[in-house]
């Protein structure tokens, strides 16, 4: 489960920020997980909360996860659309072509940290 190692890396990054800003406590951590990252959001969230039990400066902190929608573009007709607009055969909803280009991020990004 790579979500555990990603959650640990996030915690380590936030701990470094605490030190850099001479803060004592984390209030909220906000991350964006790209739609093509391969990260299971529930597993990542579970891992984060399990790991912070050993980190007193994280007690009571909240994790906000932003998950932007996946978009695709059809190279045949050129239209862009959300993943939920695909037809049941995973084809372009406009021209029915099956060769689609995914549009969106494939990483995890630390957006904000609230601390005191």
Distance of CA 94 to the CA centre of its chain: 29
Domains and CATH numbers, the chain: 2-115 (3.30.2320.80)
* Tokens found for residue 50: 């399990």
pTM: 0.86
Q: Each residue of 57-70: pLDDT tens digit?
A: 999 999 999 999 99
For residue 62, what are the β-bridge partners?
Answer: 28
CA atoms of 50 and 55, how far apart (whole Å)? 10
CA atoms of 85 and 25, how far apart (whole Å)? 43
Q: Each residue of 2-33: pLDDT tens digit?
A: 999 999 999 999 999 999 999 999 999 999 99
């Amino acid at each position: 489960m790579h979500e555990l190692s990603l959650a640990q890396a996030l915690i380590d990054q936030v701990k470094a920020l605490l030190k850099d800003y001479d803060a004592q406590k984390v209030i909220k951590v906000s991350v964006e997980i790209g739609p093509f990252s391969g990260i299971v959001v529930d597993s990542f969230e579970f891992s984060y909360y399990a790991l912070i039990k050993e980190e007193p400066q994280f007690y009571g902190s909240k994790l906000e996860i932003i998950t932007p929608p996946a978009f695709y573009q059809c190279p045949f007709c050129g239209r862009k659309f959300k993943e939920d607009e695909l037809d049941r055969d995973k084809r372009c909803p406009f021209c029915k072509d099956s060769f689609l280009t995914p549009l969106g991020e494939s990483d995890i990004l630390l957006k904000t940290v609230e601390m005191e």
